[in-house]
Structure 1
């Protein structure tokens, strides 16, 4: 063990989780597109699930970042719809959830909520239906309702729409990409030896 020293540490850091989430969403999207192009369907549904869910997390983290930057007393426990509305209002732009790209926010949220609040689905029914044999053959009773989101087209739409919203809001906020990135620094300054004994060879000051 080395000799104990007393130091002064100055540090600053800004850790913005939306960057990590955005990287994960991009990773999943790339995997989905690569597998689709190669006609490799093995586990592509899992990659789609990962992409859509991570996009929902990314969007919320981005709204929290903008709220932190722009709105005093920002409440992170609001619904995502309220968060988007307040950020958009602050920046003087409409947030029309009835049309793309903003309608996609609610779609990825719906998908995310299904899994975040996962619960059993039990159906017991008897009914008559006028149909064809081909339609009966195609009907999969084990296909869950959320399966409709798991398409390459929806993954690409969701990614493109949420990126469009992010880029537009950043521009309106006058924020550079650098300001959204995780960064920090630390400096260490030697004071003295903790045991009180003097030494001519004092450790140098370091900046990290």
Structure 2
């Protein structure tokens, strides 16, 4: 009985394939907002379970950083998707307006989309009220820099234990802003904004999914000849 190497056999089979000349087409379009939104959903689900199980630990705060960051990135991805649809290539009477807006802040893009599609945005009410604070937090993490105590030296009255506790309670600005309540609100509001944008832009949800077609069109079989 002889033993054979499956990997070697597979290699021989592959090498036995004739070489071909072919036209390759790849019409795949990937939209990162789908992955970013999925990541935000993942962290939110994990945090929800952690809070329900009262599993409080240092990892919870790190997950909240990930949640709000992914939520903010998803908002930008959502805005870019709709903005490119309605503001590029002369769409809606615009002459490549998206080229001028692509690198602008998210809020500027939302204002431009609102102007073209003719819907109202109330920046003083949810869901749009959340945008400024969310982007502010996102910028703190995307462009990190030192956060020094607001009061470097001051006089306080209390016991030694009380004063030590006061120092231990010090938190940087981003840690004060980043609460579980805000992370939840931000996630919900961004998803609401997304649904609103799709509705006013008349975009079906399936149009926002990554996908497309790929193909190989045979031109000729080379049979080992030089190409």
Please say whether Structure 1 and Structure 2 have the same fold, judged by a TM-score greater than 0.5.
Answer: yes
Contiguous gaps of at least 5 residues in structure 2? 1-14, 89-95
Task: Single out whichever of 148-157 and 106-115 deviates more from structure 2.
Answer: 148-157
- The answer on whether the counterparts of 1:33 and 1:152 sit within 8 Å (CA) in structure 2 is no
Show CA shifts across 1:138-197 (max 9, x none).
Answer: 553542111123322111111111111111111111111100000111121211123686
Structure 1 residues 94 and 170, CA gap change in structure 2 (3 angstroms): same
Larger Rg: 2
The answer as to 2:67 corresponding to 1:51 is: yes
For normalisation by structure 2, the TM-score amounts to: 0.79
For normalisation by structure 1, the TM-score amounts to: 0.85
More strand, by proportion: 1
- Report how many aligned residue pairs link the two structures: 197
The answer as to 2:142 corresponding to 1:127 is: no
Secondary structure in 2 aligned to 1:191?
strand
2:40 corresponding residue in structure 1: 25
CA distance in 1, matches of 2:167, 2:124: 31
The answer as to 2:214 corresponding to 1:192 is: no
Q: CA deviation at 1:130?
A: 6.4
1:147 corresponding residue in structure 2: 175
Q: Aligned-residue CA RMSD in angstroms?
A: 2.3
CA distance in 1, matches of 2:161, 2:62: 28
Structure 1 residues 167 and 130, CA gap change in structure 2 (3 angstroms): farther
Contiguous gaps of at least 5 residues in structure 1? 198-208
The answer as to 2:76 corresponding to 1:60 is: yes
- The answer on whether the counterparts of 1:170 and 1:176 sit within 8 Å (CA) in structure 2 is yes
More helix, by proportion: 2
